[in-house]
Amino acid sequence: MILQIHDELVLEVPENEVDATRELLQGAMENVFDLDVPLEVNLAVSRNLAKI
């Protein structure tokens, strides 16, 4: 993890690990607690933070 901005995380991940990292991160963040309402995570991939 490179940076946290309010409710956003910025990670630097090798291109060949993007899919595995996406699956791991989204699963961990959406299922951290057993709640009656869903926690939804939106993920974006870019080479540049300005393009997200």
Per-residue model confidence as pLDDT tens digits over 6-45: 989 999 999 999 999 999 999 999 999 999 999 999 999 9
Cross-strand partners of 5? 8
In a domain, 47, yes or no: no
Q: CB neighbours of 40 closer than 8 A, spacing ≥ 6?
A: 30
Is position 45 within any domain? no
In a domain, 50, yes or no: no
More confident residue, 14 or 51: 14
11 in any annotated domain: yes
Considering its fold, how many domains does the chain have in total? 1
- 44 in any annotated domain: no
In a domain, 51, yes or no: no
- Terminal-residue alpha carbon distance, the chain: 17
Containing domain of residue 28, as a range? 1-33
Q: Give pLDDT, residue 9.
A: 93
